[in-house]
Chains A and B, each alone.
Chain A
Amino acid sequence: MSLMPSIINGASMGAIYRLIAMGLTLIFGTMRVTNFAHGAMLMLSMITAYSVWAATGINPYLLIVIIGPLMFFVGYATQLFLIRPVLKAESDKNDPIGVLLLTAGFSIVLENLALMIFGADYRMAQTDFSNTVFTFGRTSLSAPRLYGLIITLVVSALLWAFLQCTEPGRQLRATGQDRNTAALMGINSEQTFAVAFGISTALLAVAGLVLLPFYYVTPSVGNVFQTRAFIVVVLGGLGSVPGALVGGIIIGLIETVAAQFMTASVTSVLIYLVFLIVLFVKPSGLFGTPFH
């Protein structure tokens, strides 16, 4: 049996984990806040996307023009109206415990709202390409996963270009490196935080849409992705974007390749094992700089 399909499937799942992880990294990297509502916001974008798809039948990938800006706005508003007041009241702005609890609480609220409105059912967007399979020689690939891989890679490259080459991207990096000095340059860090949050949740819109044609939507769908994304982030090194890149691929590969040989629960154990070994050998993660 060829391992090739599972490696490519692993790469595509890994790329999605990585995209989700990059959103977490972006928020942590700019504001030192760990967003425990990240998974719930992925769920929110998936449920919204599913509902729009169910009502209109539009190709999920095209829905990005609606769900993308919508999720950007949701993230932007969350930062401005929910997180900012709590962050302001924190005594230690580099270790904001209150904000952490707030995001965890917000995640529970979102999940229960979804349960109330959407119900606990598992639903899937059965698009006309959901079951399409491409065959290359002896290797066959599921179409939505291949499309997902391509879209995710393109979006990751766009994010990189945004951060490196644009004015707001540079402001974001400066704020992450030293918010007090950024303020001396006339940069409004609260505004920058809101943009970072908005981009982070817009990335979740992309991840959600890419998952839609081949993954079940349910109010708890965010949990597994959030856990995986945390592992990816910590594995790669907190706040390191290249780290999130490599970490995502590693986890995706372990998951699908190992699934060929063992049960899903053993695969999960394996992921945590690799995670612990890396942290044991290099506590700051694969690409992280040690924290002082």
Chain B
Amino acid sequence: MSKLLEIEGVCSGYGDVKVLHDINLYVEEGEILSVVGANGAGKTTLMRTISGQLPTTAGEIRFMGEAVNHLPAYKIAERGIIQVPEGRRLFPYMTVHENLLIGSTMKHVRASREKNLQYIYQLLPRLKERERQVASTLSGGEQQMLAIGRALMENPRILMLDEPSLGLSPLLVSTVFELVQTIAKAGTTVLLVEQNVKQALKISSRAYVLENGVVAMNGPSSELIDNPYVKKAFLGL
């Protein structure tokens, strides 16, 4: 297995507010990697830093061996590092269809627009039914599906999902986790950020535990799920 994304000694934050301290992390090609941690641990900050929405103040982020941490956000997306942001962040006044079309704005994904649309509408038939509906009128679950569909339109090499199960009913939560597995099986590498630690550990191969902006623990998910500290802090056991 080769390392697709490598984060080495990265520090980042918001201006004077330092949030991430010396983060070391890698994602292997083809795996589902999860990053878990309590509210405020710095998970979203990590996503934003990888996507180029926040600058690194130290360290390096490499994608397929090349440093990408000085690129602007739109160029990082062009590399195929695609984020589904926390809270979906759909274009609220656009229809479902337009939101998907926006996903295939980049020149190199334009050619596969029709193919991707068909695939997504077949994978998520709810979206097809609501094709002409304005995004802000969708239910929470549908919005999350659309946010994921929009990201798939970008032909991700690595798909980074920031708390896709946030605010969803238990039934929809399992639907979302199944969807993530389906996407991974189809060959897309996934970086999954979650507060739903149990489910995340179940579907991922490895995991990192983030606490107050540092990596507190990492290892195979199957081991972490039995770790006494993880059990106590996150699984309520």
CA distance A187 to B76 in the complex (A): 11
CB within 8 Å for A187 and B91 given contacts A167-B105, A170-B98, A171-B105: no
Contact A178 B74 (CB under 8 A): no
Chain A residues in 8 Å Cβ range of B98:
170
CA A174 to CA B100, docked complex, whole Å: 12
A173 & B91 in contact (Cβ 8 Å cutoff)? yes
Measured between beta carbons, the chain B residues less than 8 angstroms from A182 are 102
Verify B94–A184 contact, CB threshold 8 A. no
Contact assessment for A183 and B72 in the assembled complex, using a CB-CB cutoff below 8 Å? yes
Residues of B in contact, count (CB < 8 Å): 25
Whether A189 touches B102, Cβ cut-off 8 Å, given contacts A178-B89, A178-B91, A184-B85, is no
In this assembly, does A59 line the interface, its C-beta being within 8 Å of a C-beta of chain B? no
Give chain A's interface secondary structure class: helix
The digit string for B83-102, where 1 denotes a CB below 8 A from any CB of A, is: 10100010111100010011
Taking CB atoms, residues of chain B closer than 8 Å to A185 are 74, 77, 102-103, 105-106, 150, 154
**Chain B window 70-86, contacts with chain A (Cβ cutoff 8 Å), 1 for yes, 0 for no:** 00111101100011010
Report if A183-B73 is in contact (Cβ < 8 Å); known contacts: A170-B98, A174-B91: yes
User: Shortest distance in angstroms between A89's beta carbon and chain B's nearest beta carbon?
Assistant: 13
- A186 interface residue per 8 A CB criterion: yes
**Is B53 at the interface (CB under 8 A from chain A)?**
yes
B residues 133-156 near A (Cβ < 8 Å) are 150, 154
Flag if A186 contacts B78 (CB, 8 Å).
Answer: yes
Interface size class of A (residues with CB under 8 A): 10 to 19
Central interface residue in B82, B98, B102, by most chain A CB within 10 Å: B102
Chain A's nearest CB lies how many Å from the CB of B45?
14
**Cβ-based interface call for A126 (8 A):** no
Q: Which of A171, A183, A185, A187 has the most chain B CB atoms closer than 10 A to its own CB?
A: A185
CA distance A177 to B150 in the complex (A): 16
Give the residues in chain B near A180, CB-CB below 8 Å. Answer: 53, 73, 89
A170 near B101 with CB under 8 A, answer yes
B142 → A minimal CB distance (Å): 17
A51 at the interface (CB under 8 A from B): no
* Separation of A226 and B98 alpha carbons in the complex (Å): 34
Number of A-B contacts (CB under 8 A): 63
> Beyond A170-B101, A170-B102, A171-B105, is A184–B91 a contact (Cβ under 8 Å)?
no
Q: How far is the CA of A173 from the CA of B102 in the complex (A)?
A: 10
Interface flag for A188 (CB, 8 Å): yes
Is there a chain A Cβ closer than 8 Å to B116's Cβ?
no
Q: Establish whether residues A186 and B77, one from each chain, have CB atoms under 8 Å apart when the complex forms.
A: yes
Is there an interface contact between B85 and A177, defined as CB atoms closer than 8 Å? no
Question: Contact between A189 and B91 (Cβ–Cβ < 8 Å)?
Answer: no
Any A CB within 8 A of the CB of B34: no
B63 CB → nearest A CB, Å: 15
Please name all residues of chain A whose beta carbon is closer than 8 Å to the beta carbon of B75 when the two chains form the complex: 186
Residues on A with beta carbons closer than 8 Å to the beta carbon of B85: 181, 184
Q: Which of B27-83 contact A (CB under 8 A)?
A: 51-53, 72-75, 77-78, 82-83
Query: Which of A174, A180, A186 has its CB near the most chain B CB atoms (within 10 A)?
Result: A186
Instruction: With A173-B94, A184-B73, A184-B85 given, name 20 new contacts (CB 8 A).
Output: A170-B98, A170-B102, A174-B91, A177-B94, A180-B53, A180-B89, A181-B89, A183-B52, A183-B72, A183-B74, A183-B77, A184-B82, A185-B74, A185-B103, A185-B106, A186-B74, A186-B78, A186-B105, A186-B106, A189-B74
Q: Which residues of A contact B (CB under 8 A)?
A: 167, 170-171, 173-174, 177-178, 180-189
24 contacts between A and B (CB under 8 A): A170-B94, A170-B102, A170-B105, A171-B102, A173-B93, A173-B94, A174-B105, A181-B85, A181-B91, A183-B53, A183-B73, A183-B77, A184-B51, A184-B53, A184-B73, A184-B85, A185-B74, A185-B77, A185-B105, A185-B154, A186-B77, A187-B105, A188-B72, A188-B74
